[in-house]
A and B are shown apart, each in its own frame.
Chain A
Amino acid sequence: MSAATGTVQSHTVIRVPDKAHAAQAPFVLLLVALDGGKRVLGHFDRAEPPQIGSRVTAQAADNQTLVFRLVEKS
């Protein structure tokens, strides 16, 4: 497990999901540019999306969808 930190490029709220995600909806989906340059798709741990440009971090795990949370400002 390693921390994945990056910047929100865009967001949506999936309110009409496919069958495999019916139990989770509505959920926030984020497009995040990680600090290393890689772009990833993941969920957000809140019901409302963050602003584009927000800093977020997630614990990366194999074969699991990332779940991002806001980086607390120090």
Chain B
Amino acid sequence: MANSVHVAGVGSTSFGGHPGRTLQSLAVEAARAALGDSKIPATRIGCVFVGNFVGGIMTGQELLGPIVAADLGLKGVSAIKIEAACASSSAAVRLGHKLIEAGAEDAVLVIGVERLTGFPRDSLTTAMTAAIDQGTEGHAGLTFPGFWGMVMARHMHLYGTTREQVAAVTVKNRQFGAGNPLAQFREPVAIEKVVGSPLICDPIRRYDCCPATDGAAAVVLTREEIARQYGSPSVRIAASVLVNAPVRITDYAEITTHDGTVEAANSAYQIAGVSPGDIDVAELHDCFSIAEIVDAEDLGFFAKGEGGPGVACKNRVVINPSGGLLSKGHPTGATGCGQIYEVAMQLRGCHPNQVANARLGLTHNGGGTAAAVTVHILEAVS
């Protein structure tokens, strides 16, 4: 019988600018908060996974697993860095989940961390394109805003999605971000400002893009019995899925449908025995405003093509009440753990933007061209 896996505790730094902070100091801050929250002694941790995307490229620091474990005072643990671009730390959660489920470890500490602010824009763009296949599409000059610009142009062409519907995603998520003390952007933004902002990769404009963000988030995974033993404020992981998917824009049969998200979501719903209509709250990968529309469709919250008018309406599922990547920020390697932090707080009933009676939550995190996709379904423990 597989163990029931719980998120026993969560911790996070604020997301935003942390000039002068090292990756290790941010990671340690989030990890200590998560360990304290879980009430589980650090001596029970057998594995430390550090999700990080471009720490080596941007800061010159590698070997984050052993360094962060040592800074936490942990000895004799299996500590490594996990990289899956913007899905690094949620991919690490999936691996930790497997270990706990199989009974191979009592407790696993997963930390996500990134430092992205304060660098020249071309350095940041170049670092992010490390997640585009440099043997093929990097050669043509494709960037991530370029990838999503192509998705947006085609979504508008096929389904009649309007410029204002896409901009409404940014407006909604900025409103949520205003209520989240951890968020990078705490000011609402008007739709006119979004559609009037400078073009980055047509038709994507500046306010359609998530910001460069520093931050760290951490979660402690354990089995149900241990969470009970220590009185952890835990939530249950009802499904943890990581899939690989098209790594090139030319691999997609249709670029407005992201196969990895569809596959990961369908597997997760099946494992958890739930349907999209059962989800109360979702934190999904809105790296660009159009991404929230495409993702919400691929996760089954809307039929394909209906996300444009759908996402800004009042729906059963509340999407990105943290402010999402667009407003809370996107410290790439930390984002996956940050999403789980947010949904765990919702299910524990103590989120600053609390969704009433939230019992079932979902996180969706994508790396590269939605090439590494995780979906987690979390359930409140009564």
Interface residues of A (CB under 8 A from B): 9-22, 24-25, 27, 29, 31, 38-43, 49, 52, 65-66
Contact = CB atoms under 8 A, between A and B. Distances in A.
Contacts of A43: 140-141
B150 interface: yes
Contacts of B252: 39
A25 B140 CA distance: 12
B151 A10 contact: yes
Contacts of A9: 154, 255
Interface residues on B, range: 20 to 34
23 contacts: A9-B154, A9-B255, A10-B150, A12-B146, A12-B149, A12-B150, A12-B153, A13-B201, A14-B141, A14-B146, A15-B199, A15-B201, A16-B200, A17-B125, A18-B138, A19-B126, A20-B126, A24-B141, A25-B141, A31-B150, A40-B250, A41-B250, A52-B154
Contacts, number: 94
B202 A12 contact: yes
Given A41-B140, A41-B250, A16 B145 contact: yes
Interface of B: 121-123, 125-126, 129, 136-143, 145-146, 149-151, 153-154, 157, 199-204, 249-252, 255
B202 A42 contact: no
A38 B255 CA distance: 14
Contacts of B145: 12, 16
Given A13-B202, A14-B201, A20-B126, 18 more contacts: A9-B154, A10-B153, A12-B201, A12-B204, A14-B146, A15-B202, A16-B125, A16-B145, A16-B201, A18-B125, A18-B126, A20-B141, A29-B141, A29-B142, A31-B250, A31-B255, A41-B140, A41-B142
A42 B139 CA distance: 10
A37 to B, nearest CB: 11
Interface-centre pick from A16, A17, A38 (highest chain B CB count, 10 A): A16
User: Which 3 A-B pairs give the minimum distances between C-beta atoms?
Assistant: A12-B149, A21-B141, A10-B154
Nearest to B147: A12
Nearest to A17: B141
